Structure 1
Amino acid sequence: MSLTRPEQVHAGLSLEDPPEPPPAAVTAPLSGPIEEYTVVHTGKPRGKPKKTIVEDQDEPLIDHTVALAKNSKKTKRLLKQQQKRQQKASSRVRNFLELPAELLQEILGHLLPTDVFRISQLNHATNDFIRQNEVAIAKDIMDRRYWVLRKCLPLPVPFHEVDETSKAALLNPSWQEKMNINRKPYQHIKPTDPQNVCSCPSCLLAWNNLNVVLDFSFFQWHLNHREPIPMIPRGTTPEWNVELIEAHARVIDKAMRSPLSYAAVLQTHLNSTTGTLLRQVRFPPKKQPIHRHNKLVAPLPAKTVHPIRLYHVTEKDAVEEDDKFLERDGKPSYEFPFHRDNYYSLLAYVPNRKWSKEEQRWMYYAQGSHERDLTWVRERFTPVDPPKSVEEDLSVRHLSQGWLTV
């Protein structure tokens, strides 16, 4: 059946070009001799030789392609959206001082007092910020870490903060003579100055306690390594001891004016307390004890550490670096370490509190003692102003006898 012209056009065939005949089949000869031939290579390249391009490797390639400017509205809109996303993702704060003051104060309140002092040495701006917010930062630190020691080791009151009536009573020679027994020259405490520190009994005790805290911390190395503390012969004042107690007095005097320094003193005493309670674990004895009567006998076994320590303190409590473990039941500190020999048997010096068996908690009694002592001193040692002249003296006598009426 032959296709008509429309059918041929529909089939994709041209009317002017007739279809090509199929190629004839190529058949190989079935028989005949096989011809042998040899290919000889003349050595001449076929065609024109290719030109070799010598590249200069000394000169680097420079890309002069310039990016096309994006001026479409859609591109600008997408660019603004991308910039907004980048601003939200990346913080605009480039310095920690650019943080809000409340947030920065909260961060510093979680650090140790010594760490805050190190940060204050970073630059002048940081030092100024810490000085301006020192009271709030120190309060946050002590509320988190030293709420027990702060109640047990209060600061003495500076003399300039006492009212005028109390100043006159405290400087009364009769009262100063009675207070000499509390200011007797301890070897490890510098006596107070009545013109600098309040001389009421509670302030004198607070001054002595804080100086003992620093002195006890100074000899921790001797106690940990079982080295004897240097003893001072009676009646002598070596130069090294004078410099030591004066340095401690300067620290306490600074703590009376700087809350961060006061927090650093509490941190020092907390480290001394935990180090003393864990001394047998951290610094075990190197040599086993030998029988004192016969040294040839085999040495006795090393003394084991009692599993129950004072306040049940552990290494975990020491790592937390707070005085929370001091709220547990333990031995009260009623005896004042009046000599450095007391350091050998001193475990935890936490004065001004007692354990209540009824309430099963510690009762702190240092708060308010300064006001009570000042009231007692004013009532008994306030000097009476003498009359300025004889006439005033006579008028006072006449008034007392009822001769004159006002």
Structure 2
Amino acid sequence: MEPKVDMTQSLAVRSKRTQRQNKKLAKKSLRASNTGPPLGICDLPSDLFLPIVCLLEPRDIITLSRVNGPIRDFIISEEKYIARQVIRLRYDCLAKCFLRPVLMRDVDPAYHQGLMSAGRPEDPLKTHKRIFHHIQEPDPSVVCTCLTCVQRWNSLCIVLDFAHWQRYLDNGTPIPIVPRGAAPEWNRKLLQSNAKIVLGSLHSDLFYARILQKHLSSITGSIQRHSQNKGNRRKRFRMTDDDVQRGTSDFLERSGPPTIDFPHNRDNYYMLEAFLPNRGWITERNAWVYVPEDQHEKDLEIAVMWEEWAKRRQAEARRLAATQPEQINRSS
């Protein structure tokens, strides 16, 4: 009788759980060794990923930062550089027109008392509520209230408010009117939302770039809307389809109508095309000239001068009040 031979073969263990674990280990080892090809945009080196991000629009960058944690951390760590490059490539003209107000924490404490003094002659917040129904005044404890910074705050709030009503302007729908002395709830919420975004742009460079992007969209849409009106023959900026597709503010460096009147109410939005404050056209140079950034420091000096003048006036008033009884006694 022939001996029995064991012809059985070992079966390969097939487990989905084991396969998933092996795939994870393979990916982990591939990333650790950094010898394999990149599997996606997240696997690109930072020196390649960063230039790609800088070519995106601010809205897309903010959306990209919400994809996952590593991308968000990377964008936050490089936010200043990314925003600076995006603004330089796309919104250089707008950035010079819409400078950001300065936070009080960044103002020299020596100027705080002059800025917070009630009743200073150039205080721009005196008539703010009475004049502007579409701008919320800044918090003087958070934002510098020198004349330049308040004008910067108002301009950024106008940008957001003007962008909010673009759909109404495109459709020919009348913008709701706020009666004098009234404060409807919808308007209060809108102003608070705009003020919150502007305040956020003082802390985030990407939020600031996003505001500039919204304003560029408002300008291009307004120019296109008014150009379709054959009866409107006012001078406007020369804008081509390539300028719109390019998504930059370079065409606004060409000669065009200057921004002379500030939109003090929403009725001015109907004829407003390119709201570009803080600049003027110099014919001799054939170029635009912008308000310098150091105007803020000059206004701080004015606030200090006012504070010193107010102190001298109070001291003189106290001296006169002290000497007046003596003069009365002598005369009697």
Question: 1:159, 1:383 → 2: CA distance?
Answer: 23
Question: 1:267, 1:279 → 2: CA distance?
Answer: 18
Contact 1:168 1:383 in 2 (8 A): no
Question: 2:288, 2:151 → 1: CA distance?
Answer: 20
| Aligned residue type for 1:311 | F
Contact 2:280 2:288 in 1 (8 A): yes
Contact 2:123 2:147 in 1 (8 A): no
Question: Is structure 2 residue 160 aligned with structure 1 residue 214?
Answer: yes
Computed over aligned residues only, the root mean square deviation of the Cα atoms, in angstroms, reads 2.4
Question: Is structure 2 residue 302 aligned with structure 1 residue 356?
Answer: no
Question: 1:117, 1:261 → 2: CA distance?
Answer: 9
Give the 3-state SS of the residue equivalent to 1:173 in structure 2.
Answer: coil
Same amino acid, percent of matched pairs: 35
Give the 3-state SS of the residue equivalent to 1:354 in structure 2.
Answer: strand
Alignment of 1:389-404 (within 5 A): none
Question: Is structure 2 residue 113 aligned with structure 1 residue 129?
Answer: no
Give 2:63's aligned residue.
Answer: 118
Superposed CA deviations along residues 195-251 of structure 1, whole A, max 9, x for unmatched, are 010000000000000001100001101111111111111111110000000000000
Alignment of 1:7-22 (within 5 A): none
| Aligned residue type for 1:263 | A
Contact 1:276 1:347 in 2 (8 A): yes
Query: CA 1:112 to 1:275, structure 2 compared with 1: closer, same or farther past 3 Å?
Result: same
Q: TM-score, normalised by structure 2?
A: 0.78
Count residues with an aligned counterpart: 278
Contact 1:183 1:192 in 2 (8 A): no
Superposed CA deviations along residues 79-131 of structure 1, whole A, max 9, x for unmatched, are xxxxxxxxxxx962224333332322211110000000111111011111111
Query: CA 1:384 to 1:376, structure 2 compared with 1: closer, same or farther past 3 Å?
Result: closer
Give the 3-state SS of the residue equivalent to 1:189 in structure 2.
Answer: coil
Question: 2:122, 2:291 → 1: CA distance?
Answer: 27
Please state which structure has a larger fraction of its residues in helix.
Answer: 2
Give 2:204's aligned residue.
Answer: 258
Give 1:334's aligned residue.
Answer: 260
Query: CA 1:110 to 1:309, structure 2 compared with 1: closer, same or farther past 3 Å?
Result: farther
Question: Is structure 2 residue 136 aligned with structure 1 residue 190?
Answer: yes
Question: Is structure 2 residue 232 aligned with structure 1 residue 273?
Answer: no
Question: 1:91, 1:140 → 2: CA distance?
Answer: 31
Superposed CA deviations along residues 54-85 of structure 1, whole A, max 9, x for unmatched, are xxxxxxxxxx9xxxxxxxxxxxxxxxxxxxxx
Give 1:100's aligned residue.
Answer: 45
Query: CA 1:255 to 1:184, structure 2 compared with 1: closer, same or farther past 3 Å?
Result: same
Larger relative contact order (CA 8 Å, sep ≥ 6):
2
Give 1:296's aligned residue.
Answer: none
Contact 1:159 1:197 in 2 (8 A): yes
Give the Å deviation of 1:369: 0.9
Question: 2:249, 2:145 → 1: CA distance?
Answer: 29
**Consecutive unaligned residues in structure 2, runs of 5 or more:** 1-8, 10-34, 313-332
Give the 3-state SS of the residue equivalent to 1:174 in structure 2.
Answer: coil
Contact 2:95 2:212 in 1 (8 A): yes
Question: 1:349, 1:219 → 2: CA distance?
Answer: 14
Give the 3-state SS of the residue equivalent to 1:310 in structure 2.
Answer: coil
| Aligned residue type for 1:218 | H
Give 1:202's aligned residue.
Answer: 148
Give the Å deviation of 1:182: 5.2
Superposed CA deviations along residues 27-77 of structure 1, whole A, max 9, x for unmatched, are xxxxxxxxxxxxxxxxxxxxxxxxxxxxxxxxxxxxx9xxxxxxxxxxxxx
| Aligned residue type for 1:128 | D
Give the 3-state SS of the residue equivalent to 2:120 in structure 1.
Answer: helix
| Aligned residue type for 2:183 | T
Query: CA 1:217 to 1:124, structure 2 compared with 1: closer, same or farther past 3 Å?
Result: same
Query: CA 1:180 to 1:331, structure 2 compared with 1: closer, same or farther past 3 Å?
Result: same
Question: 2:181, 2:90 → 1: CA distance?
Answer: 41
Give the 3-state SS of the residue equivalent to 2:299 in structure 1.
Answer: helix
Give 2:243's aligned residue.
Answer: 317
Query: CA 1:128 to 1:182, structure 2 compared with 1: closer, same or farther past 3 Å?
Result: farther
Give 2:328's aligned residue.
Answer: none
* Mean CA deviation greater in 312-321 or 139-148: 312-321
Q: Which has the larger radius of gyration?
A: 1
Query: CA 1:92 to 1:253, structure 2 compared with 1: closer, same or farther past 3 Å?
Result: same
Question: Is structure 2 residue 273 aligned with structure 1 residue 347?
Answer: yes
Question: 1:371, 1:280 → 2: CA distance?
Answer: 39
Question: 2:229, 2:217 → 1: CA distance?
Answer: 25
Alignment of 1:84-95 (within 5 A): 92-95=37-40
Give 1:248's aligned residue.
Answer: 194
